[in-house]
Amino acid sequence: MREAGYYHVYNRGCNRQPIFLDDDSIYFVSKPVYLGAASAFSLRSNGYVYMTLQEDGVDLDIVEDKLKEIETRGELDKVKFIYTISNFHNPGGVTMSYEKRKRLVEIAEKYDVLIVEDDPYGDLRYEGEAIDPIFKIGGQERVLLLRTFSKILSPGLRLGIVIGNKNIIRKMVMAKQASDLCTPSLTQRLAARYLQRHNLLAQIKPTIALYREKKDLMLTELDRNFGDMNGFYWTKPEGGLFIWFTLPEGFDTGEMLELGKAENILFVPGQAFSLDNTCRNSMRLSFCLPPKEDIIEGVKRLKKVIVEYGKEKKLL
């Protein structure tokens, strides 16, 4: 199934003509969680269950314990899906290991729960070996795979893809027809013609090389500016677009945003990536857009903002 933009996929499944979520539905999301998915899911149901995000993906012990608890309550039929970004998490930057992917499928099989695998960044790998998608491990009867052209071809196309169980896809198509009839044929044809004439993965190699340099530079600058400060931690992604930067408890990156604007720097406060107004001491940093010199200067200014805020709040 093709969609007019990635966000439509979330909306189609959960809001306008909901396929998955009802008011009393239960669903699993990571903490932090991608804000686009979180906003779409929460509009329909507040029955989220958090999965703590670790360096190799979500904590599956939590997933299994919570599913056991839900089964004991006799509410397993209310669990609609486990939502996860398998590669280069947004905003976390981490990638789920192959071992965890296999175990997640085993857990989903045991409790008969659908996995929604969101993979918009998988082709933007800068180091390490590619890992089999959860979809390949679990198959289309267990896993619904979401992909997009926005990160590798053009964000303006607003063209997303859903691959999965034919009955689910049929229901999504019917919901789509009721809301906006179809994905624009022009953008579909543009993408199709490009793929016919060009090797897309070969075409993005220069982009991958550039993003790799920018990612490495931002990591170097974070280490240079914060490496000797206690309580500061940042993820080290092997691909994707984002770094998740966590400050000591007591910092509020939402409050710090205006201070950052005054220094002409922007970040996304961590609170935006939660469903319960937490993650306040974290922020999402993006390295793909700014020039290299701006990355160097931006991290310096970020340290200035953090130190000023920390001293004002007596946190440093």
Domain of 143: which CATH number? Answer: 3.40.640.10
Q: Do residue 223 and residue 183 come from a single domain?
A: no
For the chain, report the end-to-end CA distance as a whole number of angstroms: 52
Q: Among 175, 196, 217, which residue terminates a domain?
A: 196
- 11 lies in a domain? no
Same domain, 44 and 177: yes
State yes or no: pLDDT of 179 exceeds 80.
Answer: no
CATH code for position 296: 3.90.1150.10
Q: Give the bridge partners for 286, in sequence order.
A: 242
100 and 163 both lie in a single domain: yes
| Same structural domain, 86 and 119 | yes
The pTM of the full predicted model, rounded to 2 decimals, is: 0.91
DSSP secondary structure of the chain: -EESSHHHHHHHHHTSS-SS--TT-EEEEEES--HHHHHHHHHH---EEEEEEETTEE-HHHHHHHHHHHHHTT-GGGEEEEEEE-SS-TTT-----HHHHHHHHHHHHHHT-EEEEE-SSTT-B-SS-----HHHHH-TTTEEEEEESTTTT-GGG--EEEES-HHHHHHHHHHHHHHHSS--HHHHHHHHHHHHHS-HHHHTHHHHHHHHHHHHHHHHHHHHHHTTSTT-EE---SBSSEEEEEPPTT--HHHHHHHHHHTT---EEGGGG-SSS--TTEEEEE-SSS-HHHHHHHHHHHHHHHHHHHHHTT--
What the block records as the tokens of 157 is 């196309």
Please check whether residues 68 and 216 belong to one and the same domain.
no
- 156 found inside a domain: yes
pLDDT of residue 177: 79
Q: Are residues 45 and 181 in the same domain?
A: yes
Given a contact cutoff of 8 angstroms between Cβ atoms, the answer to whether 211 and 217 are in contact is no
pLDDT score at 137: 98
In a domain, residue 103? The reply is yes
Final residue of a structural domain among 144, 164, 196: 196
Q: Return the ∠ at Cα 239 (arms to 63 and 300), rounded to 5°.
A: 105
pLDDT value, residue 16: 46
Percentage of the chain surpassing pLDDT 70?
A: 94
User: Using one digit for the tens of pLDDT, what is the confidence trace for 157-168?
Assistant: 888 899 999 999
Kindly state whether residues 171 and 231 are assigned to the same domain.
Answer: no
Is 21 domain-assigned?
no
Residues 172 and 292 in one domain: no
pLDDT value of residue 18: 59
Number of domains in the chain: 2
4 belongs to a structural domain: no
Whether 77 is covered by a domain: the verdict is: yes
From 43, 164, 66, 156, select the one nearest 115 (Cα to Cα): 164
pLDDT digits (tens, 9 = 90+) for 99-146: 999 999 999 999 999 999 999 999 999 999 999 999 999 999 999 999
**Given pLDDT bands bounded at 50, 70 and 90, which one contains residue 14?**
low
Mark whether 189 and 67 lie in a shared domain.
Answer: yes
Note the pLDDT tens digit of each residue in 19-68: 788 899 999 999 999 999 999 999 889 999 999 999 999 999 999 999 99
Look at residue 275 in the predicted model and tell me its pLDDT: 96
Provide the residue range defining the domain that includes 243.
Answer: 202-313
What is the reported pLDDT for 121? 96
Q: What is the pLDDT of residue 3?
A: 47
Same domain, 52 and 185: yes
Residue ending a domain, among 196, 225, 243, is 196
* Core vs surface per residue 16-48: b (16+ CB within 10 A) or e: ebbbbbeeebbbbbbbbbbbbbbbbbbebbebb
Rounded to an integer, what is the distance from CA 242 to the centroid of its chain? 9
pLDDT value at position 135? 98
Are 37 and 107 contained in the same domain?
yes
Average pLDDT, the chain: 93
Going by C-beta distance under 8 Å and a sequence separation of 6 or more, which residues neighbour residue 289? Answer: none
pLDDT of residue 174: 86
123 and 179 belong to one structural domain: yes
What pLDDT, on the 0 to 100 scale, is given for residue 178? 77
Whole-number pLDDT of residue 19 = 72
pLDDT, one tens digit per residue, over 298-310 is: 999 999 999 999 9
